[in-house]
Amino acid sequence: MSGLREGWDSQSRVVKALMLRELTTRFGRENIGFLWMMVEPLLFAVLVGIMWTYLKGPDEHGVGIIAFVASGYIPLTFLRHSFTRCVSVFLVNGSLLYHRQVKVTDFILVRVLIEFIGGTMAWLFIAFALGILGYIPVPAYPGMMVAGWLLYGLVILSVCFVIAPLSEVSEVIEKILPVSTYIAIPVSGVFTMASWAPPGVREYLLMSPMVNAMEMIRYGLFGDYIKPYYNIWNPILVSVIFMTIGLVLCRRVRRDLVVE
């Protein structure tokens, strides 16, 4: 048990150190630094929400349009940034592998974790600011909302474990990833709900783990104003599959990495 605790403490220190290094490299030590991660989702959520309000009115299927857009755009930003940041992550940080405590999987975990924390902070900030103005309701079921967000983060992390090693093997991944991210929007559940789709389409939508997680997030936020469709085991099972594949790929790529 003591050996397990020592290993956990050592790995925790490595992750913290890598997070500080990543934040300093990306944002510097001046101005508001890490808080910049909240600016993009805040601006886009508000601007897109205003545009949708102008085009569709203040409500969509009985829920506030700005709250709906904000609750979807933050996960979309988290998805897009996490996928992009994991491309060539081994090559950029390869020199750190000189330290035997540092593993290639730490690089992926740190980058996704930073985006996850940034997305969480952005959501809290937006919910507080727009909640005061009456555009976002108090979550009806906070526990359900948090569970959905954690599952969404788990799915993104597992996919990044596959993207990162594949991007080291082939440059094609880096080229097609931006386009693939936008193509994936319809099956990400960020701008639609399963209850709005015809039954035949809904069946296929619910095969997506991200749709299931988003349904939980929206149900936690809007409560009984919406009819959610989700299966909690879908994102868990898909995450385990992708994580397993990703760990195997990471191990193979690690053998070919040259530590300088």
Is 60 in a helix, a strand, or coil? Answer: strand
> Which segments of the chain does DSSP mark as H helices, in order?
2-27, 39-56, 65-85, 89-93, 104-132, 142-169, 172-183, 199-205, 209-222, 233-256
**What angle do the packed helices 104-132 and 65-85 form, to 10 degrees?**
160
Question: What digits encode the pLDDT tens for the residues 22-65?
Answer: 777 776 655 555 666 677 667 777 777 777 777 766 666 677 78
d(CA 95, CA 92): 8
d(CA 163, CA 222): 33
d(CA 89, CA 165): 9
Is 13 in a helix, a strand, or coil? Answer: helix
- Residue labelled with tokens 């990162």: 164
* pLDDT tens track, the chain, 260 positions: 565 666 566 677 777 777 777 777 776 655 555 666 677 667 777 777 777 777 766 666 677 788 888 888 888 888 988 888 888 787 776 666 666 677 788 888 888 998 898 888 888 888 888 788 777 888 899 999 999 999 999 999 999 999 988 888 877 777 788 778 777 788 888 888 888 888 888 888 899 999 999 999 999 999 888 889 999 999 999 999 999 999 999 888 777 665 55
HEC string of 69-114? HHHHHHHHHHHHHHHHHCCCHHHHHHHHHHCCCCCHHHHHHHHHHH
Q: How many CB atoms lie within 10 A of CB 166?
A: 19
